Structure 1
Amino acid sequence: MNYIESVKVEGFWGERALEFNFNDDVNFIIGINGSGKTTAVNIVVAALTANFHELDRLEFSKIVIKLKSISSRKKPSVIINKQADDNRPFSSIVYEIRESASEKPLVLSLDDYEEQMMIRRYPRHIVERELYRRQGRTVSNSLDKLTNVSWLSVNRASNDHYDPDESEQISSVDRKLKELSNRLVRYFSTLGKRGSEQFESFQKEVFLSMLYRKTSKPFFSAAKEIDLDDEKKSLEGIFDQFKVKPKEFKSKLDGHFEALARAKDKLQEKDLNLNTTDISVLIGTERIDYIVDEWNKSIDKRKIIFEPRDTFLKIINSMMQRKEFSINSQNELQITTQSGKNLPIHRLSSGEKQLLIVLGEALLQEKQPWVYIADEPELSLHVRWQESLVENLRAINPNSQIIFATHSPDVVSVFSDKVFDMESMF
């Protein structure tokens, strides 16, 4: 997927030209109220998501977006031409999409009156299904192949919204929080499934280890090198993962390692007068050592699988006061107060909800290249949270390109060289 290299808008507010040359990592668009920063990010988002309602509303005549990939020399581009038509209630909008600079553009126009009305009137999934049937692929299908875009503007939406599943109206923030919570459940479930598959892979290795296999290390050599305490702790961890109670294995485990310690002492003293018990425990130890090695590899792989989730929880818990976030057995976010009570997610403060939404969106990007665009993400956030916001987002997804329209110098923080001031852009 691609990042945005540059955006050029002609006819911005009717007569002005606007151009951004974005950084690959962090970008801030600043300016006083009415300077056009929200309009600028809306244009970028509408262009890359084929939002024709917004493209109709916003003032421009041409948008040129150049994209770039870290792993490829291709230079995709998206050009949108908009022209008013006095005979129709909407402008003509034509997309030219190139997957590389050398290729001919894919031109997608919706000049047909019926299609124009449909694209503006009906939900996107209905429109895409119908247009796909008619012309093979849509603008949004083509754009989705070029870049991933996260657009966060919960506080710019209308103040309330009727949810058919609720008995009363809910705010745009609560609606977004509810949507995010559902997406997080699916994401955590996916991680859990991958973790379970890794554990099943280890179980398979346990059974296969009972069969003959080649080994480059003689059993007596393995016994000499083994750390008895570490080996014992690892086996206790394995038994715990298999849900074997300590009372069911402790005496046998102690007996095994007592016998192993005696056999190991004989080997170190070069006493080869090994009895049947010594030989048996040494041979078994080589197999156990192999299983422990496989277990440790499995643990490392599981840590990698759950690292995004654990990083997210660590960051959000470090920012919260008197509350702790965790994941319950249903893969839902669970909030526990300092007094040990469970707090429903809708009972969070407005700032806590905003923080959870901003960080949660970054987590759901799954460390993939995303263009993360937000309008005033600092709303309702404490100054201390604003100061660490971008660095925390980068910790959750270091592969995102952040483009924020903001009033807050605290959000900009140490990234003052990544600022685009709308007052000096024209």
Structure 2
Amino acid sequence: MNYDDIDIILSRVGSQISKADKNRIKEILDTKEIKSTDHSALFFLQKLIKIYDAQRIFDNTIRNFVEICNKYLTDKKVIYDESAIDIYIKKPNAKKKKKKNAEETDRLDLSDLSSGEKQIISIFSKIYLTNNSENFIILIDEPELSLSVFWQEMLLPDILSSKKCNLLIAATHSPFIYEDSKIEECAINLQEYITRKADK
């Protein structure tokens, strides 16, 4: 457990613990000197660390979601504020305004995204953020719609690399969807399975 983790833990508690107690806990971590009056604060911190450790798997999942989405976004960025447990989208180069709520004014709504960006966020939020221990069977019809050629090449490998997909079926007219060699060897041309009355 490092100092940054402790900072996140104390931020998540909010006003349930006083600022003085938070500062004292940080001081103890810096100096390693414990007074007799510190035991209740340290007991409280110990409990918070246990809760934080139990939640770590969810934090890691959210980080993975953010990382995968940011592979696709160029002039926007998905941000995960671990202290506030908040996920949002913003323009990374947005000029900071001299306002109290400047951070909030830089945020983008989902309606500000292109149809392709919405599709990417939607697919990966379902895969990563659904609270479900079961893996998915994913069926996608024409995943190339609204996606650039570059995104088409990345989509299926990224879905499979999530390790949350037991079976992936994608019906597509785009050869770029199966550009990845591992995906291509699993691809089937449906024409091979279509029989016409004249062929019988």
Contact 1:324 1:335 in 2 (8 A): yes
| 2:107 matches 1:336 | no
Q: Which amino acid aligns with 1:384?
A: F
Equivalent in the alignment of 1:424: 192
Structure 2 segments unaligned to the other structure (5+ residues): 96-105, 195-200
Select the residue among 347, 371, 392 that pairs with 2:112. 347
Which has the greater radius of gyration?
A: 1
Root mean square deviation, CA, Å? 4.0
Q: Which amino acid aligns with 1:392?
A: D
Q: Which amino acid aligns with 2:88?
A: Q
| 2:8 matches 1:242 | no
| 2:147 matches 1:381 | yes
Select the residue among 273, 288, 299 that pairs with 2:52. 299
Structure 1 segments unaligned to the other structure (5+ residues): 1-229, 262-276
CA change 1:376–1:292 in 2 (3 A) is same
Structure 1 distance, partners of 2:161, 2:39, is 44
> Hey, which of these two has a bigger chunk of strand by percent?
1
Q: Which amino acid aligns with 1:304?
A: I
TM-score, L = length of structure 1: 0.34
Q: Secondary structure at the match of 1:403?
A: strand
| 2:132 matches 1:366 | yes
CA change 1:359–1:250 in 2 (3 A) is closer
State the shift of 1:389 in Å.
0.7
> Hey, which of these two has a bigger chunk of helix by percent?
2
Larger RCO (alpha carbons 8 Å, 6+ apart):
1
Q: Secondary structure at the match of 1:368?
A: coil
Equivalent in the alignment of 1:311: 64
Equivalent in the alignment of 2:101: none
Q: Secondary structure at the match of 1:317?
A: helix
Q: Secondary structure at the match of 2:107?
A: coil
State the shift of 1:253 in Å.
5.7
TM-score, L = length of structure 2: 0.64
Describe the superposition over 1:14-56 as per-residue Cα deviations: whole angstroms up to 9, x where unpaired: xxxxxxxxxxxxxxxxxxxxxxxxxxxxxxxxxxxxxxxxxxx
| Dislocated runs of 4+, deviation >6 Å | 230-234
Describe the superposition over 1:163-185 as per-residue Cα deviations: whole angstroms up to 9, x where unpaired: xxxxxxxxxxxxxxxxxxxxxxx
Structure 1 residues 380-419: aligned runs within 5 Å: 380-396=146-162, 398-412=164-178, 413-414=180-181, 415-419=183-187
Describe the superposition over 1:283-302 as per-residue Cα deviations: whole angstroms up to 9, x where unpaired: 959x94x7665544322221
CA change 1:253–1:397 in 2 (3 A) is closer
